[in-house]
Chain A
Amino acid sequence: MTMLKNDPLLQALFWSVMTIAFYAFGKELHHRRPCFWTSPLVVAPLLLILAALSLHVTYGQYISGTHWLVGMLAPATVAFAIPIYEERVLISYHWPLLIMGVLVGSVISMLSSWGLADLLGLSRSLRLSLLPRSVTTPFAMIISGDIGGVPQLTAVFVLITGVLGVTIGEVLLSVLPLQSALARGVLLGMGAHAVGTAKGHQIDKEVGAIAGLVMVLVGLLNVLAAPLLGHLLAAIQKQ
């Protein structure tokens, strides 16, 4: 174990293998008993936290060996071009609806996050870090920095939103009388970003493609609006 702690390369290898192994275990478990608690996004982090605590490894030590895995989110974003292209006919037919959904969703997401956080008396930096949580990670971290939040905190909130959002989304999909694949895709992509999109692809190719497109559109819209929003929030604060 001391050798493991002293050699950064060996440590990186160890934690990368552990992360992938726990993820694979979680995936297999979820395949056999599909429910919220067996999601690989719940099982793998829990096991990793237990391992890190028992080995006295800090987050800094852990992430320095595994940040390359988080970095893979970027090429995964590029890969969204393919399902979007495959559903181009559906998308070109319904683009006004999609744009409207993204606008409505973004505004409601920000307002409800801010309002609820204000109601519960959360600090200003926490409130700002919570604002971009329905936007997928790489975008959300940029936005958080732009409007004065803490990007690292935002990353955690985005993740919690994804995991809980998928569960909430699944319940809503079975309760709400939604007729169109469009509305189902927007619900998952808007509410639970990348995790919702992954779920969407499991439900139906159309739902997944729409969720993916919505996720990208939400990210783009918010990144472009972030500097404006930052000024606005600063102005409100001064009054």
Chain B
Amino acid sequence: MTIQHSKIILRRFCRSSRMLQIVLILGFWLAGEGIVQVIGLPIPGAVAGLFIVLALLISKRLSLRTVRLGARWFLAEMLLFFVPAVLAILNHPEFLGLLGLKILTVIVGSTLTVMVITSAVIDLWFRWAVSRREYDNAQK
């Protein structure tokens, strides 16, 4: 009875506290790291954590409301976690000259190519699928 009661209180508390949800997500991450270590999977622990959370959500063992606030916080502030890595450029003064310009050219050129071709392929297929569906419907 008391266990049941405290469970309900804990759940209610977790649904309203972003801080608690952040800690919960950190817990899932550590669980993922642990599993990857033990089994020796060739994927990052964070990805294992992602699949654990996804599996729990799909099997309804975890309710969306228990993690949604925390997840939104992580996704909204994700750019902050990239900032310190940019300073690695301090160790590479050689990139400030022509070499840096060449690297930038590769990155911009390749990114442009990937974005245009991939999205065009997807969109054309999507349009084709939609028009075929309309055609099928018209036949009926």
Chain A residues in contact with chain B, CB under 8 A? 19-20, 22-23, 39-41, 44-45, 48-49, 52-53, 58-60, 62-63, 66-67, 69-86, 88, 97, 100-101, 104-105, 108-109, 112-113, 116-117, 120-122, 126, 130, 133-134, 137-139, 142, 152-153, 155-157, 159-162, 164-165, 168-169, 172, 176, 178-180, 182-184, 186-187, 190-192, 194-195, 197-198, 201, 212, 216, 219-220, 223-224, 227
Contact = CB atoms under 8 A, between A and B. Distances in A.
Contacts of A84: 54
Given A85-B58, A182-B126, A190-B118, A77 B49 contact: yes
Top 7 nearest A-B pairs (CB, nearest first) are: A81-B53, A45-B86, A82-B71, A79-B74, A183-B123, A77-B46, A187-B119
B87 A83 contact: no
B75 A104 contact: no
B68 interface: yes
Contact residues of B: prevailing secondary structure: helix
Contact of B88 (A44, A80, A122, A156): A156
A62 B84 contact: yes
Nearest to B31: A78
Interface in B54-68: 54, 57-58, 64, 67-68
B44 A77 contact: yes
Given A39-B79, A183-B126, 14 more contacts: A19-B83, A19-B84, A67-B84, A69-B80, A76-B81, A81-B49, A81-B51, A82-B57, A82-B71, A100-B125, A138-B46, A160-B103, A172-B115, A190-B118
A120 B102 contact: yes
Given A62-B84, A178-B119, A122 B106 contact: yes
Given A85-B57, A186-B118, A78 B46 contact: yes
Contact of A79 (B25, B45, B103, B115): B25
